[in-house]
Structure 1
Amino acid sequence: MTIAHSNIIAGVTLAVVATLSWALNFIAPYVTGAYSLYDLMVLRFLIAGALGAVIMVLCSARLRCLRRKQQLLAAGLGVTGYLGYSTCIAAGVVFGGPVLTPAFIGMVPVLLAVLSNATQKTLPWRRLVLPLTLLMGGLVLTNLSSIDQPVAGQGSWLMGLIFSVCAVVLWLVFSLLNQRALEKLPANVSGVWTGLMMAGAGMGALCLLPVMQALDLLKLPVLGFGFSMAGHLYAWALGIAVMSSLVGAWAWNAASHRLPMVLSGQLIALESLFATLLGLLFHGRLPTALEAAGLAAVLAGVVMAVRIILTSIDKGVATLADAPA
């Protein structure tokens, strides 16, 4: 097995860990109990910010390797890719149900693959047609089904659609800027880079706290901060912060160092798959026929993209080996 080949396999494994961790973002509306989604989001990002600050202290030597501009970029990416993105997908799930928003996140691999291949020419376009078609077809099928699915509470398909589109835009911006920044950084600073993003998200949540309090969006001051009432909220906030913000971000940054962007973009589709399955689990129902077909198409597109990349690498290595010295 070549070093390049093993790097791809390691990168794919890390990307699976990251997308599974990120899928926990989508269960936020289901675990708040009597409290509001805003309570959970604030707690989650304040915890993430505190963890990020600890990482920065522990990795202070590596932090000094980054220029001030790079540090500010990482913090800004935390606000965009953590706080903004997570808030949009949570709101999308509230209004649109368990399938609509995860399905729209499936647009990200298609858009990233097109943008990446247009700029870097990683693969011939004809080799990407089938996996991209499967991904887009899966997106269409799941969205057709989600329109007719009942949503608990004050559901609104249009509001869910708006928040889902905003989530796609924010994640697209985050992915492009983060990938380009990581390409210019040494691999040993990925941990402190993650810490900076978490700290940025925490600072963003801290700045929004007075606004949410003024708008009377928080129920913690009313229902109480005691563990007898809010213990489950603290537990979920800590769990999602650690898995989604810490483990997910570290695994994705490590994967981005090993994968070409045209492949990492495809693997983001797994987040949509995991998120939909978790949402259906919390809703206590099985996917409809259209949803199941759409999810299967997304998974098939991802697997095909991975095989195409691995085959291309093997052919490239074989060509180099056969070339005259």
Structure 2
Amino acid sequence: MNSPRSTLLQGVGFATLATLSWACNFISPYVLGEYSIQDFMLVRFMMAGLMGLLLLPLYRAQLRGLRPRQWLTGMGLGVLGYLAYSACIAGGVIFGGPLLIAAFIGAVPVLQALLGNAQHRSLRWGQLALPIGALCLGLVMINLHVLRAPSGATSLGIGLAFSFGAVVLWLSFSVINQAAMEHLHTGATSAWTCLMMIGAGLCALLLAPLAWAADWLRLPTLGIANPGALRLYGWALLIALMSSVIGAWAWNLASRRLPMVLSGQLIALEAFFATVLGLAFHGRLPSLAEALGLTLILFGTACAVRVILAPRRSCAEACPVTSQKHCR
């Protein structure tokens, strides 16, 4: 049987893998070629939905333990946390740049830590002061460069709107998914991930005619089998695998092993990975302020992990026989 500390460390590992996978969302606007972001999003999520349909029969035993309402909840979460969230990420990158949206996503840990500790008072508020303070300061350091950069007010305003929307969507997804996972039997994680993928894919399929009618798609005019289109399909498949399959699978496993107050802090790693990827695609190194901001985000995340693990370690050392039963 795993100890509480071992379980938490596994959760941290899975959450890190999930945030790295989800950070791939931020490179979508850089791999479009001549095609539109709408082309990419629809192709990507229809691919994800198809993968979910192909994988779902492998988990028939898991599905038998799910009620119809849970099926609908899983597919709805796919629309909320996959399609809608990724669309806001792409809009934030296009209109505000890679650092603005990454900084906003980095604010999620602060909000989620407050929400999680308010719902399940597992820590004194003073214990969260250092990690939350470091995260906030890191976000400010990154935002200083963004807000001083030359950009039109309208473009920045749209970028801010998309970024704020991404934060709201992620908080909603995280809270609903965490609550739903508590009512799933322990072996249903893979089927749950497939249902999310199918929900996002069905929504993308339904939106495709509307996007075509609005003349947002370039695939019909530029071609669906030329080298540019094949490159688009390749990137869409890669990001679908990383974000929709590996990211969701790893996060669902992390959600079973981590309290919400800690999982919220670890989402800060998505902002770190996204900023690194964004800078890489821009072909430049971070400025001093950005480097300090990234360092503070990592420091705040490490502090949060230490704060959560410390009470469990102390409890286990004080009462090694009954620690698994009584430590929370």
TM-score of Structure 1 vs Structure 2, range by shorter chain: over 0.9
1:155, CA displacement in angstroms? 7.9
Which amino acid is the alignment partner of residue 251 of structure 2? W
Aligned to 2:318: 319
> Residue deviations 1:152-200, cap 9 Å, x none?
x998111110000000000000000001111121221000000000000
Task: Indicate if the aligned counterparts of 2:65 and 2:185 stay in contact, CA closer than 8 A.
Answer: no
TM-score (norm 1): 0.96
Matched, 1:34 2:31: no
State how 1:232-271 maps to structure 2 within 5 Å: 232-271=231-270
Task: Report the equivalent of 2:221.
Answer: 222
Three-state SS of the structure 2 residue aligned to 1:187 is: coil
Q: Which amino acid aligns with 1:309?
A: I
- Separation in 2, partners of 1:319, 1:55: 46
- Give the superposition deviation at 1:282: 0.4
1:95 and 1:154 in contact (8 A); partners too: no
**Partners of 1:105 and 1:167 within 8 A in 2:** yes
Question: What's the RMSD between the two structures over aligned residues?
Answer: 1.8
Give how far 1:125 is off.
1.0
Corresponding residue for residue 45 of structure 2: 45
Counterpart AA for 1:239 = L
Q: Which residue of 2 aligns with 1:3?
A: 3
Whether the 8 Å contact between 1:91 and 1:160 is mirrored in structure 2 is: yes
The Cα of 1:142 is off from its aligned counterpart by 1.1
Query: 1:96-115 alignment to 2 at 5 Å?
Result: 96-115=96-115
Q: TM-score, normalised by structure 2?
A: 0.95
Distance across 1 between alignment mates of 2:79 and 2:276: 27
1:203-258 CA-partner distances (Å, limit 9, x unpaired): 11111111110110010001000142311101000000011000000000001111
| 1:75/1:41 CA distance change after superposition, 3 Å | same
Check conservation: 1:97, 1:155, Cα contact below 8 A: no
Partner of residue 158, structure 1? 157
- Is 1:73 matched up with 2:69? no
Q: Which residue of 2 aligns with 1:174?
A: 173
Sequence identity of aligned pairs in percent? 53
**Any conservation in 2 of the 1:89–1:101 contact (CA below 8 Å)?**
yes
The structure-2 alpha-carbon separation of the partners of 1:124 and 1:45, relative to structure 1 and needing over 3 Å to count, comes to same
**Equivalence for 1:282:** 281
> Within 1, Cα distance between the matches of 2:38 and 2:165?
18
Correspondence for 1:95: 95
Contact 2:5/2:309 (<8 A) preserved: yes
Provide closer, same or farther for how the CA distance between residues 322 and 273 of structure 1 changes in structure 2, counting only shifts above 3 A. Answer: same
Distance in 1, matches of 2:25 and 2:139, equals 19
Query: How far apart, CA to CA, are the structure 2 residues paired with 1:316 and 1:259?
Result: 17
The answer (yes or no) to whether the contact 2:141–2:293 under 8 Å persists in 1 is yes
* Separation of aligned partners in 2, 1:194 and 1:21: 14
The runs of 5 or more residues in structure 1 that have no matched partner are none
User: Please, which moves more after superposition, 222-231 or 80-89?
Assistant: 222-231
Q: Deviations over 1:9-41 (max 9, x none)?
A: 111111111000000000000000111111111
For structure 2, which runs of at least 5 residues remain unmatched after alignment?
Answer: 324-328
Partner of 2:326: none
